[in-house]
Amino acid sequence: MHEFVKLVTFLGVGNYRESLVKISPDFCVRQKVFPLAIVDYLHHLGKSVEVLFFLTEESRQSETWLECRNYLENKNVSYKFFSIPERVSSEVVMNSLVRTLVENLKEDENIILDITHSFRSFPLMAGVVALYLKEAKRIDVRVIYGKFDPETNTTECEDLTPLTRATEWIYAVRLFREYGYAKELAHLIRKRNEEIHRKNSSKKPRILNSLSSSLQNISFSLRIGSIKAIRKNLSNFFEFFDGKRNQIRSEVKEFVPEIAALLDVLEKSYRVFHIERGGLKLNEEELESERKLLNFYLQTGDLGMALRLAREYLINAYLMMSGEETNFLERDVRESVNLSKLGYDIILQARNHVARFGFNKVDLPSLNKIEKAIKSLVSSHPERILISSEKSYQSRKAALLTPLGTTKGALYTVLKHFSPDLLLIVTSKQGKEILPEILEKVKYKNDYKVILLEDPFTGVNEINRVISEAREYLADSDEIIVNLTGGTTLLTYLVECIKNHLRYGRKIKTVLAVDRRSYEEQIKNPFVVGEILELE
């Protein structure tokens, strides 16, 4: 099957004269009309061709057009012609060109645009149309021009396609300026580097590929949203950029002049949230860098990434106040932070919505509310968040969650080691009967609540009710001590379920009460303080 090519061309009313048309080093033909020479060349290559002519009314009446039609028909070449609007504005002509080409060209087709016989502003319009088709329909258009030399009576075919590549650079620069991502710039730099090396020219770039890789890595880490990757890739980039600054500028100026004016902007955009140190440490410098990164995402319109970072930024500020900087990456430490007390509910609500792609019952706040909340966070100095977190930290309320079977010693031991503001017991009717004695022995005076199970051994149908009641009782508790000893298997399982449902936004400590005495001794005298084993 022959490869199919569509040739888009123009025809004026000039007095065309025959010349020797040189299409390639190994092909030349004598022709009056350049597009007909292109048809001959494509046939020489074994390709099928259809020609789309754009004509004015005058050119349609010309002898040249009649000759073209006869020539194409004799060679069984398919052709179409379209009228160019006359005595109208350039805008109308442009719209007509775009509409006609969009209707007659398809994606993945092999298109050649010949502007040799176009006239007035049509070459410029045709070039713009080629750029538009390249972007709108992903059609790769090759632009050619037949350059006539009257002294030698020859016409050389010039490939003007490289001029259309400007649109790729325009898009890449706009993508960076508007969204902060240099992925397309990196791609074009690498592509240019490969093209130069394929030509085997004497002078070749040495570090463009490294520049491309560095920009690609930064863009990847910013898009995926990993602070560790961002820190690592920014450090690698600036170590490379600062160490070879002069060479980078020199090679960019010579081989990639399209981005020469962008280098300073690029450096400034990324350096503002770069930290010149290794590792990830929680301190004021880190918080300030995160705040600037938040602003970067806000300014580039990436609210999804801004919401994800905003939540972690709030957690980090809180942890600084609570003195847990060294363990700030530990899961249980981060989950212990109660963000709802910091006054950024809009951010939390929006983040919970987008983190699950909307597959939850959390509604997405309006765009205006989200932007306003993030701007407020960005404009606030980290110290204000620290003050808010300090107030929240000072108002923490501790609770003890525990099962209770029919033995008294485990709860007695736990209450001797801890003095919670609220005691929540999950037990049965039999367990509730022994509770007053335990509380009296330990002299517990604070608030306590009891959740009863009808069947503490097999009452799995009661699980959802128990969890719901526990969440209500523990809603205001910031710290929860979870005891896993002293109950039936089902009671202990329920306490674990409650813990898992409440772990976010709270500091949770899981403990076991250990009594090393024999079972007979424990039953005979349960009110002996045992050991507490804290679980990770």
For 105-226, where are the alpha helices, taking DSSP H only?
122-136, 161-164, 166-179, 183-198, 208-224
Residue 473 token pair:
């009782």
Domain with CATH 3.40.50.10770 in the chain: 396-533
Determine what percent of the chain falls in helix, strand and coil, rounding each to the nearest 5: 55, 15, 30
Domain with CATH 3.40.50.10640 in the chain: 2-161
Looking at domain 2-161, its CATH superfamily turns out to be: SSO1389-like (3.40.50.10640)
Are the CB atoms for 78 and 43 separated by under 8 Å? no
Q: Which CATH class is domain 396-533?
A: alpha beta
Judge residue 146's burial from the number of C-beta atoms within 10 Å of its C-beta, 0-12 exposed, 13-18 middle, 19 or more buried: buried
Are the CB atoms for 406 and 434 separated by under 8 Å? yes
φ and ψ of 34, to 5 deg: -55, -45
Domain with CATH 1.20.120 in the chain: 282-389
Three-state SS for 388? helix
Q: How far apart are CA 320 and CA 323, in angstroms?
A: 5
Please tell me the predicted confidence (pLDDT) of residue 396.
57
pTM of the model as a whole: 0.66
**Where on the phi/psi map is residue 424: left (φ > 0), alpha (ψ -120 to 50), or beta?**
beta
Give, for 331, the enclosing helix (H) or strand (E).
Answer: helix 331-335
Q: What is the DSSP letter of 363?
A: P
> pLDDT tens digit string along 384-398?
765 655 555 455 588
Q: How far apart are CA 214 and CA 231, in angstroms?
A: 12
Q: How far apart are CA 501 and CA 497, in angstroms?
A: 6
Q: What is the DSSP letter of 340?
A: G
CATH architecture assigned to 282-389? Up-down Bundle (1.20)
Give, for 250, the enclosing helix (H) or strand (E).
Answer: helix 245-255
Please tell me the predicted confidence (pLDDT) of residue 382.
66
Question: Residue ranges of the chain with pLDDT lower than 70?
Answer: 1-2, 119-123, 127, 278, 382-383, 385-396, 505, 536
What DSSP string describes 30-82?
EESSHHHHHHHHHHHTT-EEEEEEEE-HHHHTSHHHHHHHHHHHHTT-EEEEE
**In one letter, which amino acid is 142?**
R
